[in-house]
Amino acid sequence: MAGWLFVITLVLALVAVYRPFGDHMYRVVTGTRATVVERGVYRVVGVDPAAEQTWGVYARSVLAFSAVSILFLYAFLRLQDRLWLSLGLDPLPGHLAWNTAVSFTTNTNWQAYSGESTMGHLVQMAGLAVQNFVSAAVGIAVAVALVRGFAARRSATLGNFWVDLIRITLRILLPICVVVTLIFMVAGMVQNLSSGTDVTTLTGATQHITGGPVASQEAIKELGTNGGGFYNANAAHPFENPTAWTNWLQLFLILLIPFSLPRVFGRMVGQNRQGYAIAAVMAILAIASVALTIGFEVHGAGTVPQAVGAAMEGKETRFGIPGSAAYAAVTTLTSTGSVNSFHDSYTALGGMMPMINMMLGEVAPGGVGAGLYGLLILAVITVFVAGLMVGRTPEYLGKKIGAREMKIASSYFLITPALVLIGTAAAFATGNNATALNVGPHGLSEVLYAFTSASNNNGSAFAGITVNTPWWDTALGLAMLLGRFLPIVLVLALAGSLARQKVTPESEGTLPTHQPLFVGMVVGVTVVLVALTFLPALALGPLAEGLS
């Protein structure tokens, strides 16, 4: 009952904010007036806010900004010992600095290190937390550019990336994070520049507990669906997630923007019902996933869980099974690498659900921006399939889905499965799977989860595997890089193609894309495509373990 109350109140809160917060984001991304602060930033970076960009220029701006971000953060990490507030910590090795710089720039926040013993406060604040803001803003900007492509009428431009980036950061992300940081501090999260405190434990030993600007980093970590943790224990650490109600609030923050973006989509294309349809697809997939994950863990299949009466291994008693399982489901349904329990300790089928959530493409509701544009790509594929069934040229929101659009959409969908499966195969072929703590199906699950998390830019860890080696840091860094920017380029290419089209009037043969039939079709296409792609790998890993 506690688990269901947790989920129901979360759903009700998201429904309550869908319209007002979605309308606020709509005004931000479609407004024309700039604030004094924004005009100052434009002058500093040399941006003409009135200049519109083609999809190619928009894409190059995204790639250039992200490349500079990677280089800056890499240098920051390599020079850490020479910086203020370094806490006497050594600089990161080259392969780990590369992996971390790519991870935070791509909104993945995969961590192959222990935060409190590796990162100084300045690097956490001015390096990692800054990327939490701007990488989230990049995702939202790309989603908005795609929606502009659907809404445009014979236009060659998609807006201005620099204007989108600055507005989203200053008007959406930053104000909310300031308020949430204060709430988190009241709840008991740490917010200081202390080098730490030595305490005596209950057994009489001495332990060094690191302080730092935790609350401020937690706010954007969750709101921007970034993940990562100030401490190695992540959201299971009481300094990052002190109580059951902060656990609920963190999940609300994670889902706030992704579930409200369909409202922005509906308003920008002039049909709010289209936004409701996309939100319904997200909700159906999300509720099913959360229910299955909680169900598998509450059932506790396995000899040991059934013997002791619960599958509590690796879970916090503060949150219990429902609070932990719901957190695992939500963070993998989005691109949030935050964890409050040990996924490697889940039951076989319970541990399979976070993998499936990421394999779905993180579209229910997905990461900030990335979930919306991923689901719109699936909607385009669904419309094409429906068009083939009735023998007419498919259309979506008045735009014809032709060969060019389908090639782009198909390429988008194939990128991450290719990265996941090729990466997993490469790990076994080179013997690097030996760093996993287990063999057999569970060992395969540990390797498969790592590449699924990196390639889908999620960042959560199944754990049970050592990944801080040159091979793993390099391979997972490449998976994160390609898994983020190849899809973004394809999304912007699709947006450019759609923007140049004229609007095709609806006819009797046009598939209504706002009705329950279309919602069900998108859900079906999403599940079937994932099943056909990943079922063999899942059958060798978690399914084999769960059925044994």
- Tokens describing residue 325: 């399982």
503 falls in which pLDDT band (50, 70, 90)? confident
Select the more confidently predicted residue: 249 or 439. Answer: 249
Least confident of 52-61, 96-105, 185-194, 388-397: 388-397
Q: How much is the pLDDT for 11?
A: 93
Count the neighbouring beta carbons within 10 Å of the beta carbon of residue 186: 10
For residue 485 the two structure tokens come to 């920017």
What is the model's pLDDT at position 322? 87
Residue 54: its pLDDT value, please? Answer: 97
Structural domain boundaries of the chain? 2-197+208-547
Which of the listed ranges 27-31, 209-213, 544-548 does the model predict with the highest average pLDDT? 27-31
In this prediction, residue 308 carries a pLDDT of 59
The residue whose two tokens read 């990421």 is 358
User: Cα 255–268–286 angle (5° rounding)?
Assistant: 25
Q: Find out whether 375 and 333 touch, Cβ atoms under 8 Å.
A: no
Q: Helices marked H in 391-439 — which ranges?
A: 403-429
Closest CA to 243 of 319, 313, 131: 319
pLDDT confidence bin for 302, thresholds 50/70/90: low
Distance in angstroms (rounded) separating the CA atoms of residues 386 and 394: 7
| Cα–Cα dist 398/343, whole Å | 44
3-state secondary structure of 205: coil
pLDDT on residue 307: 60
- Spatial contact of 121 and 212, defined as CB atoms under 8 Å apart: yes
Residue 497 is predicted with a pLDDT of: 96
Residue 309 confidence (pLDDT): 62
| Percentage, residues of the chain above pLDDT 90 | 72
* Dihedral angle of Cα 279, 281, 286, 287, to the nearest 10 degrees: 100
For the chain, give the percent of residues with pLDDT over 70. Answer: 98
- Tell me the average pLDDT of the chain: 92
Query: Phi and psi at residue 207, in whole multiples of 5°?
Result: -130, 140
Q: Is 275 helix (H, G, I), strand (E, B) or coil?
A: helix
pLDDT the model gives residue 4: 77
| CA distance linking residue 10 with residue 15, whole number of Å | 9
Higher-pLDDT residue of 182, 504:
182
Mean pLDDT, residues 89-100 taken together: 94
Instruction: Note whether 224 and 258 are within 8 A (CB).
Output: no
Provide the CA 250 distance to its chain's centre, in angstroms: 14
Identify the pLDDT of residue 389.
78
Mean per-residue pLDDT for 154-163? 94
Q: What angle do CA 352, 356, 360 make, to 5 degrees?
A: 175
42 has a pLDDT exceeding 90: yes
Calculate the alpha carbon distances from 259 to 113, 172, 224, 288, 526 in Å: 31, 15, 13, 16, 18
Q: How far apart are CA 454 and CA 44, in angstroms?
A: 34
Residue 369, pLDDT > 60, answer: yes
**Are 501 and 399 spatial neighbours (Cβ–Cβ below 8 Å)?**
yes
Write down the H helix ranges in 226-367: 244-268, 272-299, 303-308, 320-333, 348-359
Task: Band the pLDDT of 301: cuts 50, 70, 90.
Answer: low
Q: Which one is predicted more confidently, 486 or 317?
A: 486
What is the model's pLDDT at position 332? 95
Q: Is 52 strand, coil or helix? A: coil
Say if residue 444's pLDDT is above 60: yes
Q: How confident is the model at residue 209 (pLDDT cuts 50, 70, 90)?
A: confident
Average pLDDT over residues 98-102: 96
Residue 304 pLDDT exceeds 60: no
20 falls in which pLDDT band (50, 70, 90)? very high
pLDDT of residue 407: 95
Average pLDDT of 287-295? Answer: 92
What pLDDT is attached to residue 511? 82
The pLDDT tens digits of the residues spanning 379-401 come to 999 999 888 877 677 889 999 99
Q: Which one has a higher pLDDT value, 24 or 502?
A: 24
Which tokens is 130 given? 């800054």
Q: pLDDT tens digits, residue range 308-351?
A: 567 788 888 888 888 899 999 999 999 998 999 988 889 889 99
Greatest CA separation found in the chain? 78
Q: How far apart are CA 178 and CA 184, in angstroms?
A: 10
Cα–Cα distance for residue pair 533/544, rounded to 1 Å: 17
